[in-house]
A and B are shown apart, each in its own frame.
Chain A
Amino acid sequence: MRLSKGEKIVYALLILSLIMINPPILNLINNYAKQNPLTGNFPTLWLWLQIWYVVAMASFLIGAAKIKNWKKDYRR
């Protein structure tokens, strides 16, 4: 099945979110957090994870609202 442009963007953002919260990116952020444990009074590592969780949820939400393929019902 061919993916629409919107679908490709949503899947890319979901995959990117997963990459950003896992090694080896996670190792880099963790090393940064060791030097700067708090950012704006919140744990740096928690903030980083939270940002990417929000990106993943937002792209899923937008995908659900906009992607036409996701609106199609299967033929019975």
Chain B
Amino acid sequence: MNTGLIILILYTLSLLGIAYYASLQDKKNIKNFATADSSLGIFLLTLTFSATYHSSYAFLGAAGYAYKNGIGWWVNGIWTVFPGVLFWILGRRFWFLGKKYGYISLPQFLNDVYQDNRIGLLTTVITMVFTLPYVAMQAIGSGYIFDVMSDGKLSYELGAIIFLLIMIVLVWLGGMKGVAITDAAQGVFMWIGLVIGSYIVIKANFPSVGDAYTEAFKVIPDHFTLPGPYGAVTYTDWVSRWALVTLGMMMFPHVTLRFFAGRDLRVLKWSAVFSSIYLTTIYVFTPAVAFIGHIIFPNMANPDIIFPEMLLKLTPIVFASLVISGALAASMSTGDSQLHAVATMISTDVYKEI
């Protein structure tokens, strides 16, 4: 059995163990399942919000986009800094209404505002329709990671199926508390994997990050300004992308559910601040990794895999496997939260209403 596969199995077993531990504290009611009875502290809420919001994109799509389109990728920073602010502005109001009227989902709030249950049902259907493809995206990312880490012993399709089964067990066992605890563990793993992993990849090839950029500039000068080598990052693209992601993410059911899960307003406030810092710092070395990828692996057919490819080729296999587990963490922490949100919506906003 190869090292990657052993790490993968150990990682998955630890997650299931955490979810089982959370299930022992489960009070077996819908409010506990949906919002953990509003009991999450700063550490858990910060990491479950952050790890839920940023998915396999953090490991695969981000460096891939910068590899292809250059520094314009860092519009991404707007949608890591400012959602924290929106979390505080909107989240605290939802939290308060949840406390006062017992809401555990956005459709319940809309039902009351418009005095018509069909509005909530319509919102549920729309958000579910647009959440399910997002779950599928996490399965695709995980399928690939399973395939790479097991050295092809677990196919991409089997990896995606295993991912979905693990997600179902995590959500079924632990509800919001279980998902939040596993998200926190995965969030720590994700941060270490991305930041330390990226730094080691850079240091394996260049004396410093600055040297990496200087060398990259000789090869790909167009990557250092807008609109990038293919003209993709225009000013219109810039504004529309951050506006869509920053504001749109507030409509994700797996994000709004977390507004109701904080213990008090102090928890919500600091979770909002720390999530901004967490999400922005995880990408600190991403453009450097993407740019030196051009020097080491020019003309990659699929730039999305540049970071795992560099890890596997340039660092020891155990280290690479551990960091790529961080990529799996990114996929799983989003996937389980999405399935949990869909399960909550079906229970509270469809089944209960009908």
Contacts and interface: CB of A to CB of B under 8 A. Distances in A.
Q: What does DSSP make chain B's interface, helix, strand, loop or mixed?
A: helix
Contacts of B287: 43, 46
B225 A45 contact: yes
B163 to A, nearest CB: 32
Interface stretch (B80-88, B197-205, B309-317, B341-349): B80-88
Given A41-B214, A60-B85, A30 B226 contact: yes
Contacts of A64: 88, 269-270, 272-273
Interface residues of A, number: 34
Contacts, number: 97
B338 interface: no
A38 B270 contact: no
A23 B238 contact: yes
Nearest to B276: A57
Q: Which 9 A-B pairs have the closest CB atoms?
A: A41-B210, A37-B224, A74-B96, A23-B235, A53-B77, A64-B273, A30-B226, A33-B225, A43-B224
Interface of B: 71, 74, 77-78, 80-82, 84-85, 88, 92, 96, 99-100, 208-211, 213-214, 217, 221, 224-226, 235, 238-239, 264-266, 269-270, 272-273, 276-277, 280, 287
Given A53-B77, A56-B82, 7 more contacts: A21-B78, A22-B238, A26-B238, A30-B225, A57-B273, A57-B280, A60-B81
